[in-house]
Amino acid sequence: MNTKFLPSFMLFIFLLSMAAPAPTVAQSGGDFSDNAQAKKLPTDTILVKGAWSSASDSKAPTPESGKITNNTYNNPYFGLTYALPPDWIEKYTGPPPSDSGYYVLAQIRPAETDQIKNRGSLLIAAQDLFFTFSPAGNALELIDYSKENLSADYKVEQPPTIIQIANHSFVRFDYSSPIAELHWHILATQIRCHMVQFVFTGHNSLQMETLIQSLEQMTLPDEAGPISGKGGGSAPVCIKDYVRDENILEKVDPVFTERRFNPVPVRIIIDKEGKVKHIHFLSAFPDQAKAIADALFQWRFRPYLRDGRPIEVETGIMFGHVPRPSAFSSVAAVSE
Amino acid sequence: MKPMKLVSVLACAVALFFPGKVYGQSDPGVRPGAINGQPGATPMNPLPLSSVNSTDGSLQFFQNGLSRFQDVESVSKSSTNNNGLGPRFNFNQCSGCHAQPAVGGTGPANNPQFQVIANGIVNGSTNAIPSFITVNGPTREARFPFFFNSSGSPNTNAPNGGVEDLFTVSGRPDAGSCNLPQPSFAVAQATGNIIFRIPTPVFGAGLIENLDDSSLLANQAAAARNNLGISGTFNRNGNDGTISRFGWKAQNKSLLLFAGEAYNVEMGISNEIFTQDRPLPGEDQLGSGLPASCLNLAGTGYPEDTTNYAPTVTSSDPYALNASIPSDIVAFAMFMRLLAPPVPSTTTPGGPASVSRGQALFSAIGCATCHTPTISSTQPSNFTSSLGNAPVNAFSDIEIHHMGTGLADNVSQGGAGGDQFRTAPLWGLGQRIFFLHDGRTANLLAAIQAHESNGSEANQVEANFDALSNSQKQDLLNFLRSL
CB contact under 8 A, A28 and B144: no
In degrees, rounded to 5, the angle at the alpha carbon of residue B375 between the alpha carbons of residues B373 and B380 is: 145
How far, CA to CA in Å, does B442 sit from each of B15, B108, B435, B446? 16, 12, 6, 8
Mean pLDDT (10-residue bins), chain A, 336 residues: 51 48 74 95 95 97 96 97 94 97 97 82 97 94 96 96 97 97 97 98 91 95 96 95 96 90 97 98 97 98 96 96 55 49
pLDDT in tens, B71-88: 999 999 898 888 999 999
Long-range Cβ pairs for the range A13-20 (8 Å, 24+) = A19/B171, A19/B173, A20/B123, A20/B125, A20/B126, A20/B170, A20/B171
Q: Which residues of B touch A145 (CB under 8 A)?
A: 225
Q: Best mutation site among A28, A46, A156, A324 for testing chain B: the one with the most B CBs within 10 Å?
A: A46
**Residues 306 through 325 of chain A touching chain B, CB cutoff 8 Å:** 321, 323-324
CB contact under 8 A, A197 and B227: yes
Beta bridge partners, A238, equal A314
- Please indicate if any CB of chain B lies within 8 Å of the CB of A153: yes
User: Which ipTM value was assigned to this complex?
Assistant: 0.92
Shortest Cα distance, chain B CAs vs residue A146, angstroms: 6
- Please indicate if any CB of chain B lies within 8 Å of the CB of A32: yes
CB contact under 8 A, B467 and A117: yes
Comparing CB atoms, the residue among A35, A43, A116 nearest residue B187 is A35
Among B244, B256, B230, which Cα is nearest to B372's? B230
Supply the pLDDT for residue B54.
98
Give the type of residue at B172.
R
- Please indicate if any CB of chain B lies within 8 Å of the CB of A18: no
Q: Least CA distance to B173: which residue of chain A?
A: A19
Shortest Cα distance, chain A CAs vs residue B48, angstroms: 34
pLDDT in tens, B346-387: 999 999 999 999 999 999 999 999 999 999 899 999 999 999
- Distance, in Å, from the CA atom of B419 to the CA atom of B434, rounded to the nearest integer, reads 20
Supply the pLDDT for residue A4.
55
Shortest Cα distance, chain A CAs vs residue B477, angstroms: 14
- Distance, in Å, from the CA atom of B359 to the CA atom of A133, rounded to the nearest integer, reads 27
Shortest Cα distance, chain A CAs vs residue B399, angstroms: 12
- Helices marked H in B70-161: 94-97
Supply the pLDDT for residue A325.
46
End-to-end CA distance of chain A: 99
Q: Which residues of A touch B363 (CB under 8 A)?
A: 151, 153
CB contact under 8 A, B460 and A107: yes
> Do A27 and B141 touch, CB atoms closer than 8 A?
no
Q: Which residues of B touch A117 (CB under 8 A)?
A: 466-469
> Could you tell me the pTM of the whole model?
0.93
Q: Which residues of A touch B156 (CB under 8 A)?
A: 41, 47
| B248: three-class secondary structure by DSSP | coil
Supply the pLDDT for residue A334.
57
Q: Least CA distance to A43: which residue of chain B?
A: B192
Give the type of residue at A13.
I
Tens of pLDDT along chain B (483 residues)? 444 454 444 444 444 444 444 458 999 999 999 999 999 999 999 999 999 999 999 999 999 999 999 999 999 989 888 899 999 999 999 999 999 999 999 999 999 999 999 999 999 999 999 999 999 999 999 999 999 999 999 999 999 999 999 999 999 999 999 999 999 999 999 999 999 999 999 999 999 999 999 999 999 999 998 999 999 999 999 999 999 999 999 999 999 999 999 999 999 999 999 999 999 999 998 889 999 999 999 999 999 999 999 999 999 999 999 999 999 999 999 999 999 999 999 999 999 999 999 999 999 999 999 999 999 899 999 999 999 999 999 999 999 999 999 999 999 999 999 999 999 999 999 999 999 999 999 999 999 999 999 999 999 999 999 999 999 999 999 999 999
